[in-house]
Amino acid sequence: MTDTAIAVRDLRKSYGSVEAVRGVSFEVARGEVFGLLGPNGAGKTTTVEILEGHRRRSGGVVRVLGHDPERAEPELRRRLGIVLQGGGFYPRVRVREAVAHFAAMYPSPRDPSETISLVGLEGKEEAFARELSGGQRRRLDLALALVGDPELVFLDEPTTGFDPAARRTAWTAMRSLRELGKTVLLTTHYLEEAQALADRVAIVKDGVLVAQGAPGELGAGRDRYRVSYRSNGSRAEHETDDPTTLLHRLTAEALARGERLEGLEVNRPTLEDVYLELTAEEPVR
């Protein structure tokens, strides 16, 4: 048994003439929460569906818990939990029935009631799926993915369309997965979600991985710091790759004038700054 849950090397996928994934490589360690970030059409769902065994790749090497998902081995399938981007289950089934039905397909499932509570659907056990709100349905999707007590969970935009309270509940459920030692591959276009949940993220654009690392460090590697302070009623801003020298000069000058730099701040680019920079559309030529 290795420490690697997912290994992807030079993954490629074409739909006819559309190259949706163009040579993506990354690894996810066991117990890690890994976020795939990127705008619509970047190739996130395609990548995830290949890892789940729902799509065939055009090229590259993929290992999921030591298996090639393309072989669709039941042994692998039983170790995975999956939340599809579109969701999808039968509307005429009650919440408890749906969860119990999925539980029965796994060798050592979690308790269905406990799973329903975990995703914040307690009290809705007897509701029909079609009576649930969009956010509640998404939570049911999450419950269905978790009830098999999988080692590895794929969550494709698990909180899209949630109101802020539902998103927090889902985050709690996802954090509990990490505490249980599960490996999670999450796609999202909410940066704060990636920042809150993921140990590492990869940013994808047009089928290519443009950056990867811990959310807090993606900005750190880029040497642009923003130094700002209040000056004559407005905010003065400087960008620098050497904040030590800049601060030394600015503060020395201020002290020499007998002043203070009010509201002094030094900021590193946030994940959002990096994301927007890396995924920006090139200007039309």
Neighbours of 95 (CB within 10 A): 27
Assigned token pair, 210: 């443009």
**For Mg ion, the closer CB: 189 or 238:** 189
Are residues 50 and 12 in contact, defined by beta-carbon separation less than 8 angstroms? no
Is 42 among the residues that bind ligand ADP (CB under 6 A)? yes
Closer residue to ligand ADP, CB minimum distance, 20 or 145: 20
CA 96 and chain centroid, separation:
28
Among ligand ADP, Mg ion, none, the one that 243 touches (CB under a kind-dependent 5 to 8 A) is none
Q: How many residues bind Mg ion (CB under 5 A)?
A: 3
Each residue 19-58 as x (binds Mg ion by CB under 5 A) or -, in order, gives -------------------------xx-------------
* Contact pattern for Mg ion over residues 56 through 85, marking x by CB under 5 A: -----------------------------x
Q: Which of residues 44-103 bind ligand ADP (CB under 6 A)?
A: 44-46
183 binds Mg ion (CB under 5 A): no
* Nearer of residues 20 and 83 to ligand ADP, judged by Cβ: 20
By CB under 6 A, tell whether 23 contacts ligand ADP: no
Give the HSE-up count for residue 45: Cα atoms under 13 Å, Cβ half-sphere. 12
Return the number of the residue (91 or 161) whose C-beta is nearest ligand ADP.
Answer: 161
Residue 10 or 97 having the CB closest to ligand ADP = 10
Q: Which two tokens stand for residue 265?
A: 């701040």
Q: Which of 22, 28, 38, 83 binds ligand ADP (CB under 6 A)?
A: 38
Quick check: helix, strand or coil at residue 249? helix
Binding residues (CB under 6 A) for ligand ADP: these are 15, 18, 20, 38, 40-46
Binding residues (CB under 5 A) for Mg ion: these are 44-45, 85
